[in-house]
Structure 1
Amino acid sequence: MGSLQSWFLFCIVHTTMVKNVYTFSNVALHKPASQDSYREIYPPSHAVDGNKTTFLHSDTVVAVPYHWWEVDLLNSYTIPSVTITSRNCCNSRFRNFTIDLTSDHLPSAQVTRLCHYYPGSFTQFATHTIACNETFTARKVKVTMDSSDERPLDVSEVKVKGLHVCGNYWLQFTLNAGLKRSEVPLDLPVVESTRACAQRCREDIDCDAFQTMTSASSVTCQLFIGRSGDTISDTNWKYYSFSG
C-alpha cells in the first residue's frame, strides 16, 4: 500500500475512533519541548505543563545571539494562533520574537514558515494571543528571541491552537447564510467587520464557529464552541463554521 493511501486510511480509522477530532484545542499541552539551553530547575517543559506559576529559563552563562524554545506536537495540526504568557517577573524582558511553524509531511524535506514576528514587549505575567499571518499546517512550533543584550528567554506558558490535520487538511470557513445558531455563545464582541469576527474566532482557542449580524455602523459577532449546534432560520444572520 502506498504512503498516500496509508495516510488516508489512518485518517479514516482515526476519525472513526476518536471523538471531537474536529474541535480546536491546546495541542501543545504536555508535549515534548526543547530549548537551546536552560537552567536545570526551569526546563522547557514548564511552558507546556498547564501551570502558569512555573516557567522556563534559558541559561545565560554562554552568550548567544538568539535564544529559542520549541515544542513537538507529535502530529500535524492546522494552527491559526499561538498564546504566550510571560513570566511573573521583569517587565519588557520578553520582546521582539518570532514564531515559526515546521511541517513534517515529508521528513526528508521539512518546511519552516513564519507564523508571526512580534515587534514589542510583554509586561510581566501578561497573556497575548498572536494570530499567524496565514493559517498553516505544522508539527513543530518554535519561539526565537534576540538575546544580543544577554536577556534570557523565560516565559510561563505557551498554548497552540490546533486542529488535527486528519480532521481538516485545508482550513476554511463555510458560510451558512440565513441561519442563526440559537445556543448561548462563547463570546459576543461587537466588531467592525466580518473579517474581524473571523479573526476573533481564529485567536480564541475554544472557537470552532461564529455568526454575524451587520448594521450600518458595526457587526455583532458571536463565537461558538463546536462546529455544529441548534440553528433556526433568520435572514438577518450569517453563520460560519470551520470546515475542510
Structure 2
Amino acid sequence: MNLLFEICVDSAEAAVAAQEGGGHRVELCSDLLEGGLTPSHGTIETARGRLRIPIMSMVRPRGGDFCYSDIEFEVMRRDLLAAKALGADGIVLGLLRPDGTVDADRTRELIELARPLPVTFHRAFDMTRDPFEALDTLIALGVDRLLTSGQEPSVLEGLDLIVELVKRAAGRIIIMPGGGITARNVAKIAAASGARELHFASLELREGRMQYRNQRVFMGGTLRPPEYGLEVTPPEAVARVIAAAGSR
C-alpha cells in the first residue's frame, strides 16, 4: 500500500527532522499545545530554505474556537498571502459559523487568495454539527483535502465516521485522518480507513540547553511542559511510525 505521510511540526527545526525521518510533507505550525497556530514568517522562510518536501502552512490566528472576528479574518488573509509569498506549497485553514456549519463565504475567499496552491480544511471540521453537511460544503467549495479525527478525540475512536467520509467523498476530496496516530495503531488505521494520506505528530520531551535554571519563574500558563524542557520531533520517531505502517 502506498501511503503519504504528512508530519505536523511547530518549528523549522522540527520540519527538517520530519524530512530526515522520511516524512513526505509537513504541516508547519506554531504552538502545538494550542492545536497548531500560524507559524512566523521567519519559520516559514527558514523551513522553505532547508526542505525538499512540500510545506503546508497553517493559517490560524489564535487558539480556541474557529469563529473569527472581522479583525481576525483580516489577519488570516494577510498571513495567507505572506505564507504564499514565502514559498509555502499549500495552505491549511478552517472557519466555522456560530451555528456549527462551515463558514462558506470566508472559506471561499481564502481559497481564492490561496490559489493556485492546494488548500486543506483542518480539524475545525471535527467541531461541525453535521459531518456530512460539512463534507458536502467543502467539496462544493473546492477544498482539496480534509484533515479529521472523525469528530472524536482520536482517529481510532472516530474510525467509523472516517470510513464513511472516505466512501462519501468518492475521490472528490482527499480524506486525511489525523489525531493520535502512533506506531502502535497506524497499520490498523491505514488498513481500516481506506485513506491514502495520514497525518501525525511525533513529539518527545527533551532537556533544554540551559545550565543555570531559575525554578521560581515560568513563562507560560498553568498547563505547560517543564520550563527547561523542549518538545522536539526526533527523526527516528517519525521513521518508526512510517515503518510500522508497512507502506512502500
| Fold shared, TM-score > 0.5 on shorter chain | no
Higher strand share: 1
Q: Give TM-score scaled by structure 2 length.
A: 0.31
Higher helix share: 2
Q: Give TM-score scaled by structure 1 length.
A: 0.32
Structure showing greater Rg = 1
> Relative CO higher for 1 or 2, CA cutoff 8 Å, sep ≥ 6?
1
